[in-house]
Amino acid sequence: MKRLSTAEAGFAADFAALLDEARETTETVGDVVGAIIADVRARGDAALCEYTGRFDRMVVTADRLAITTAEIDEAVAAIPAALMAALDLAATRIERFHRAQLPADLVLPDATGLTLGMRWTALDAVGIYVPGGKAAYPSSVLMNAIPARAAGVGRVAMCVPTPDGVLNPLVLAAARRAGVSEIYRVGGAQAVAALAYGTATIAPVDRIVGPGNAYVAEAKRQVFGRVGIDSIAGPSEVVIVADGTNDPRHVAIDLLAQAEHDEAAQAILITDDAGFADAVAAAVAAELETLPRAAIAGASWAAHGAIIVLRSFEEAIPLVDRLAPEHLQVMLPDPEAFFARIRHAGAAFLGRACPEAIGDYVGGPNHVLPTGRSARFASGLSVFDFLKRTTWISSTGVADPARALAEIGHAAVALAEAEGLGAHARSVAVRLRLT
């Protein structure tokens, strides 16, 4: 764990080094992924079945790629009622928040008499990738599928690997609760290829969302343009801004909640109290002795964790904005006032009783967020990712359309001629009887 202090002469260089630290995978998989995509495009279901046998250790035929309603029924029936209630609570809150985001169409009467407008429409089909290797994430199903449904997407197809043929009941329950249309037992780059280009069994989609390993991320990168994607997500991260009146154990656990995602995750504490910093560091060490994922969290904390001690919290504002963290926790007496001055963060959690883990499951806002400082220019997943805008101009409501066109048409002719586009100029000019 790195310890930095704004009072030290070398702080600027040390902080710059922290910003530049590479946490993304250095594994080069582009050629392998490209070959898999090409194979799926060429051989379709046969390639999917072959790769599923090779990577997920299970024999599957094309007629078994789709997970059936009966399989989902059986899996869901085995889930304890309390767990289903928790899933439903999360889904209800996520849906409520995302439905509130739906934008209104724009109709703008123009001074010329023309009417200008913008119309929102949902995508036809969306593909969701859900990891199914080391861990399963029903919360990720809810966060990706519910905004699509709230936006009005008619078809939501989900791909999830099932190593050794094992289905995760809660993932299937989450898919059903979120309104997923179809589920396929396919993972990896081959699943992304199938969603992008289609096979005999899996129809193509318009956008692919959801997290995955390096192969999935590279596949999404390569099919972008054929379909839309959400982002190329990197390792998870949190920045916690806290004063010395907080419970050091609470802050330590909040830091470890990000560190336990994977060894490349990053957790940073920013405080003005050196004694409190020491107490949090000690509490992290104590928690690691009993944490179930201590090996992962400990490796993350040792390699990428940091504590920054300030002379005053005024110094924290520019530091947070330069970090542009995926998650920002503000545990100060007036967290709203501090957050009001922050420009760059994927999601913020304000107050001592609002840990980031609430946002991962039941808060309501989406947990699919920009990483790797991309919150400087990107936002978290929302209904807007499943909508597109179409602008329009209408002259049908104008009593004298020719007069309305004349108001602005001469300028259009002049600009088109200046650009050397004669047909553009003429298409307006003939209506103005200039040619």
**Residue 327 appears among annotated catalytic residues:** yes
Average pLDDT over residues 29-36: 94
With a cut of 60, say whether residue 363 has pLDDT above it: yes
Residues facing residue 11 across a β-bridge: none
Mean predicted lDDT score pLDDT of the chain:
94
The answer as to CATH 3.40.50.1980 being correct for domain 30-103+114-229 is: yes
CB 101 within 8 A of CB 382: yes
pLDDT band of 27, cuts 50, 70, 90: low
User: Residue 392, Cβ neighbours under 10 Å: how many?
Assistant: 12
Separation CA 214–CA 30 (nearest Å) = 9
Residue 175 · residue 79 · CB < 8 Å = no
Residue 144 has pLDDT above 80, yes or no: yes
Q: In which residue ranges of the chain is CATH 3.40.50.1980 found?
A: 30-103+114-229, 234-380
DSSP structural state of residue 224: B
Q: Tell me what pLDDT residue 23 has.
A: 77
Which of residues 366 and 132 earns the better pLDDT score? 366
The pLDDT value recorded for residue 77 is 94
Phi, psi of 327, deg, nearest 5: -120, 135
Using an 8 Å Cβ cutoff, are 237 and 306 in contact? no
Percentage of residues of the chain with pLDDT beyond 90: 88
Residue 22 has pLDDT above 80, yes or no: no
Given a cut of 90, whether residue 33 has pLDDT beyond it is yes
Specify the length of the chain in residues.
435
What pLDDT score does 34 carry? 96
Helix axes 11-20, 316-323, angle to 10 degrees: 20
Half-sphere exposure of 89 (CA within 13 A, CB side): 10
106: Cα within 13 Å, side-chain hemisphere: 11
Q: Examine the residue annotation and report whether 326 is marked as an active-site residue of this protein.
A: yes
Got the DSSP string for 64-115?
A: GSBPPHHHHHHHHHTS-HHHHHHHHHHHHHHHHHHHTTPPPPEEEE-TTS-E
User: What is the average pLDDT across 212-233?
Assistant: 93
pLDDT class for 26, splitting at 50, 70, 90?
low
DSSP string, 21-69: ---S-----HHHHHHHHHHHHHHTHHHHHHHHHHHH-----GGGSBPPH
Q: Of 112-121, 134-143, 173-182, 260-269, which range is least confident?
A: 134-143
> Residue 244: is it exposed, middle or buried by C-beta count within 10 angstroms (0-12/13-18/19+)?
middle
What is the share, in percent, of the chain residues with pLDDT greater than 70? 98
- At 113 the pLDDT is 87
Mean pLDDT of 256-263: 94
pLDDT value of position 79: 95
Mean pLDDT of 296-313: 96
What would the mean pLDDT of 82-110 be, rounded to a whole number? 97
Question: Which candidate, 379, 269, 359, places its Cα nearest to that of 320?
Answer: 269
What's the pLDDT at 68? 95
Question: Average pLDDT, stretch 114-128?
Answer: 97
358, pLDDT greater than 80:
yes
| Catalytic annotation, pick one of 326, 344, 356, 367 | 326
Average confidence (pLDDT) over 178-198: 96
Angle in degrees, CA 353, 354, 355, rounded to 5: 110
Residue 28: band (very low, low, confident or very high) from pLDDT cuts 50, 70, 90: confident
Nearest 10 degrees: Cα torsion 108, 113, 115, 116: -70
Tell me the pTM. 0.92
Is the pLDDT assigned to residue 136 strictly greater than 90? Answer: no
* 270 pLDDT more than 60: yes
Q: How far is the C-alpha of 368 from the C-alpha of 131, rounded, in Å?
A: 14
- Give the bridge partners for 396, in sequence order: none
Query: How confident is the model over 40-69, as a mean pLDDT?
Result: 95
> Which residues on neighbouring strands pair with residue 328, listed in sequence order?
239, 348
Q: Which is catalytic among the residues 98, 261, 304, 327?
A: 327
- pLDDT of residue 177 exceeding 80, the answer is yes
Assign domain 234-380 to its CATH architecture. Answer: 3-Layer(aba) Sandwich (3.40)
> What pLDDT is attached to residue 435?
63
Q: Is the pLDDT score of 253 beyond 80?
A: yes
Is the pLDDT at 224 greater than 90? The verdict is yes
